[in-house]
Amino acid sequence: MTAFIVVAFGLVGWVVVALIARELASTRRELAGARGAVDVPADLSLVEAIAEGRREAEDRVLQSEAVQHWLLAALDESSDAIVVVDRIGREVVRNSVARRFAGARTGEVLAEEAIAELVQEALTGHSSERELQLYGPPRQVLQLRAFPLRRDGEIVGAVAFTRDISESRRVESVRRDFVANVSHELKTPIGALGLLAETMAATDDVVVVQRLADRVVREADRLARIVDDLLDLSTIEAQEAPTRAPMPIRLLVSECVDLVQAAADAAEVPLLVRPEPPDLEIFCDPRQMRSALVNLVDNAIKYSGPSQPIEIGACVADDRIAFVVRDHGIGIPTRDIERIWERFYRVDRARSRDTGGTGLGLAIVRHVAQAHGGEVTVQSREGEGSTFTLHIPLANGPFANGTIANGTIANGTARGIAETIPTEDRWPTRP
């Protein structure tokens, strides 16, 4: 009995060993097949082959993510709003500029709706373009374009581009207005000169001829001023880097007063120099700066009444010199304050022509500020007067013993800023 049990256990053990051996052989064959499938050297184990494949897959994923990141970063740097959708209209990419349209509550919600419409049309295989005007604020003109995306002739998605063309439209409008205004402004005195000449030729009355001759001189002077201002404006615009020289601020203000004193006396408008300009020098184009200040003061004289004083001064505001011209005249209506920097724009056309204004003075001031890296601002209230401030950067170097500033002035951009006179009556500081 004992021997039977021993034999039985032996047979069972042999069967188990045989089964294990068969499983091992099967596993060995599978390993060999796997090694051949991945085409690795015979001495490379399966674990190493799997690890190698995993590393290659991870590298491809990382490379794909890097390329995607670069593409998205490039799209975010674009000034256009870009939206990409797949074949079913599901959004895939929206760059940073386009994200401001999503969820907008102002007029930009119209842009988002227009983008959606153009994208749906592009998914049908048709490219489209549209111009959209948003009345703001701020007012904007947007150009929208959408195109289908194709691969192997099949539409796989669509892309929409939105570009803000407000500035280009504004420049086009300014150009058109400029040509029309120049034609009108030159035509008026030329026509008057022709009519006066005909009248003078048809009369022998010495008194009438003298009166007409005086009128001819005034019209000729007006025509000359328009041409001179146009030439000055053209020179300032064309001169990217004006020739600069040190100029004492007190001397600049004093020369400006001397140049306009005769006009102020004729209009019975007193000129007051205050606050006293600081004892500093600035590096500037003296002719351009003199022209800018004279235009500001001359403009103040034209829109001031007799005995209404004009204050001219300069002070240091942060790192800039502020040349200030304040009048107590008719002021500027709120509706006009944004447009006073335009060429030939006049708040009161009849008054400006009667006083010999060309409508180019403030445009010249703005361009002089631009050429010197500064800005010109205005504070005004209708019926109470206006304060114009021309901000010009001080030189980059430190003050030499508190009197002289050394260095050069960096280029910059000027802007006309419309502001309301603050409750506190004070000289304006840097905005």
For the domain that residue 160 is a member of, what is the CATH number?
Answer: 3.30.450.20
Higher pLDDT, residue 402 or 216: 216
**Same structural domain, 408 and 305:** yes
- DSSP letters spanning 220-278: HHHHHHHHHHHHHHHHHHH-SS---EEEEHHHHHHHHHHHHHHHHHHTT--EEE-SPPP
pLDDT given at position 11? 32
Average pLDDT, whole number, for the chain? 76
Asked if pLDDT for residue 406 goes beyond 50, the answer is no
Q: Choose the final residue of a domain: 213, 238, 263.
A: 238
Residue 66 lies in a domain: no
**Same structural domain, 156 and 185:** no
Q: How far is CA 350 from CA 222, 262, 334, 347, in A?
A: 14, 22, 19, 9
**Same structural domain, 227 and 247:** no
Phi, psi of 167 (to 5 degrees): -65, -40
Q: How far apart are CA 344 and CA 358, in angstroms?
A: 7
Q: Choose the final residue of a domain: 129, 164, 199.
A: 164
Q: Which candidate, 312, 343, 348, places its Cα nearest to that of 330?
A: 348
Q: Choose the final residue of a domain: 218, 238, 258.
A: 238
Residue 218 lies in a domain: yes
Asked if pLDDT for residue 402 goes beyond 60, the answer is no
How would you class 252 by CB atoms within 10 Å of its CB: exposed for 0-12, middle for 13-18, buried for 19 or more? buried
The residue type found at 16 is: V
**Same structural domain, 160 and 172:** no
Q: Considering only 81-85, 169-173, 269-273, 310-314, which range has the smallest mean pLDDT? A: 169-173
Asked if pLDDT for residue 378 goes beyond 50, the answer is yes
**Same structural domain, 210 and 323:** no
**Same structural domain, 153 and 176:** no
Asked if pLDDT for residue 323 goes beyond 90, the answer is yes
**Same structural domain, 275 and 172:** no
Q: ω before 333 within 30° of 0 (cis)?
A: no
Residue 90 lies in a domain: yes
Asked if pLDDT for residue 178 goes beyond 80, the answer is no
Asked if pLDDT for residue 118 goes beyond 60, the answer is yes
Residue 25 lies in a domain: no
In which domain, by residue range, is 230 found?
A: 168-238
Residue 63 lies in a domain: no
Higher pLDDT, residue 108 or 310: 310
pLDDT given at position 349? 56
Q: Let me know how long the chain is.
A: 431
Asked if pLDDT for residue 424 goes beyond 60, the answer is no
**Same structural domain, 277 and 190:** no
- Contact of 88 with 105, CB cutoff 8 Å: no
Q: Which residues have a Cβ under 8 Å from the Cβ of 35 and sit 6 or more positions away? A: 42, 44, 46, 49
- Residue 313 tokens read as 């001064």
Confidence bin at 403 (pLDDT 50/70/90)? very low
**Same structural domain, 252 and 196:** no
Asked if pLDDT for residue 158 goes beyond 90, the answer is yes
Three-state DSSP state, 33: helix
Q: Considering only 45-59, 228-242, 286-300, which range has the smallest mean pLDDT? A: 228-242
Q: Considering only 102-116, 150-164, 222-236, which range has the smallest mean pLDDT? A: 222-236
pLDDT given at position 243? 75
Q: Considering only 120-129, 181-190, 294-303, which range has the smallest mean pLDDT? A: 181-190
Number of domains, the chain: 3
Residue 385 lies in a domain: yes
**Same structural domain, 284 and 334:** yes
Residue 188 lies in a domain: yes
Residue 12 lies in a domain: no
CATH number of the domain at 214, please.
1.10.287.130
pLDDT given at position 173? 79
Q: Which residues have a Cβ under 8 Å from the Cβ of 122 and sit 6 or more positions away? A: 128, 146, 147, 148, 158, 159, 160
**Same structural domain, 173 and 206:** yes
**Same structural domain, 102 and 196:** no
Asked if pLDDT for residue 43 goes beyond 80, the answer is no
Q: How far apart are CA 118 and CA 127, in angstroms?
A: 8
Asked if pLDDT for residue 254 goes beyond 70, the answer is yes
